[in-house]
Amino acid sequence: MSDLRVLGGGAQAFRSILELINGACESIEIHAFLWHDDEIGNKLAKAVLTAAERGVTVLIHKDRVAAVYELSGGNKQSFFHKKHKPTERLQAWVLDRTYGGKPVGPKAERKAAKKQRENPLVEQLLEHENVTVSHDKKRFDHSKLFIFDKKILIVGSMGIGDTHHDEWIDMMIEVRGEEHVTRLRQRMNGEVEFDPSRRVDFLLHNLAAHDKKTCPMLSERLALIENAEHSVVIEMAYLGDVRFTNALIEVVQRGVEVTLVTGRDVNVLRSLGRATLTKLLKVTGAPENLTIILHPRMVHAKMVVVDGRYCDVGSANFTKLSHGVYDEVNLYVDDEDLARQLIAHAESQREEGEVMRGPLSYKKFISQIERATVAYQSRNGA
- In this structure, is residue 268 part of a structural domain? yes
Judgement on whether residues 148 and 214 belong to the same structural domain of the protein: no
Measured CA distances, 24 to 21, 56, 59, 116 (Å): 5, 7, 13, 31
CA contacts within 13 A on the Cβ side of 256? 24
Judgement on whether residues 155 and 249 belong to the same structural domain of the protein: no
Judgement on whether residues 161 and 230 belong to the same structural domain of the protein: no
Smallest CA-to-CA distance from 273 within 304, 251, 295 is with 295
Which long-range CB contacts under 8 A does 353-359 form with residues at least 24 apart? 353/261, 353/264, 353/293, 353/294, 353/295, 353/296, 354/264, 354/293, 354/294, 355/291, 355/292, 355/293, 355/294, 356/277, 356/281, 356/292, 356/293, 356/294, 357/286, 358/281, 358/286, 359/278, 359/281, 359/282
Q: Are strands 57-62 and 131-134 parallel, antiparallel or unpaired?
A: parallel
Q: Is the pLDDT of residue 382 over 50?
A: no
Q: What φ, ψ does residue 261 adopt, rounded to 5°?
A: -110, 125
Q: What is the pTM of this model?
A: 0.93
Contact 68, 89 (CB under 8 A): no
Judgement on whether residues 351 and 232 belong to the same structural domain of the protein: yes
Q: Is the pLDDT of residue 380 over 80?
A: no
- In this structure, is residue 191 part of a structural domain? no
- Residue-wise pLDDT tens digits, 168-204: 999 999 999 999 999 999 999 999 999 999 999 999 9
- In this structure, is residue 176 part of a structural domain? no
- In this structure, is residue 222 part of a structural domain? yes
Judgement on whether residues 224 and 290 belong to the same structural domain of the protein: yes
State the pLDDT at residue 378: 77
Q: Is the pLDDT of residue 113 over 80?
A: no
Burial class (CB in 10 A: 0-12, 13-18, 19+), 99: middle
- In this structure, is residue 41 part of a structural domain? yes
CATH number at residue 296: 3.30.870.10
- Residue-wise pLDDT tens digits, 210-246: 777 778 999 999 999 999 999 999 999 999 999 999 9
Domain count, the chain: 2
Judgement on whether residues 114 and 253 belong to the same structural domain of the protein: no
Judgement on whether residues 153 and 271 belong to the same structural domain of the protein: no
Domain carrying residue 232: 200-377
Q: CB within 8 A of 307, min separation 6: which ones?
A: 228, 229, 230, 231
Contact 48, 131 (CB under 8 A): yes
Q: CB within 8 A of 101, min separation 6: which ones?
A: none
Helix (H) / strand (E) containing 342: helix 336-347
CATH number at residue 113: 3.30.870
- In this structure, is residue 10 part of a structural domain? yes
Judgement on whether residues 49 and 160 belong to the same structural domain of the protein: yes
Sign for the pseudo-dihedral over CA of 86, 90, 93, 99:
negative
Judgement on whether residues 314 and 211 belong to the same structural domain of the protein: yes
Judgement on whether residues 233 and 117 belong to the same structural domain of the protein: no
- Answer with the one of 166, 185, 217 that is the final residue of a domain: 166
**Any alpha helices (H) in 258-306, and if so which ranges?**
270-284
Contact 188, 206 (CB under 8 A): yes
- In this structure, is residue 296 part of a structural domain? yes
* List of E strands, the chain: 4-8, 27-32, 57-62, 131-134, 145-148, 152-156, 172-176, 200-205, 231-236, 257-263, 290-295, 302-306, 310-314, 328-334, 354-355
**In the predicted model, what is the mean pLDDT of residues 96-100?**
86
Measured CA distances, 138 to 67, 127, 131, 189 (Å): 10, 21, 20, 19
pLDDT range class, residue 109, cuts 50, 70, 90: low
Judgement on whether residues 220 and 302 belong to the same structural domain of the protein: yes
- In this structure, is residue 184 part of a structural domain? no
Judgement on whether residues 139 and 257 belong to the same structural domain of the protein: no
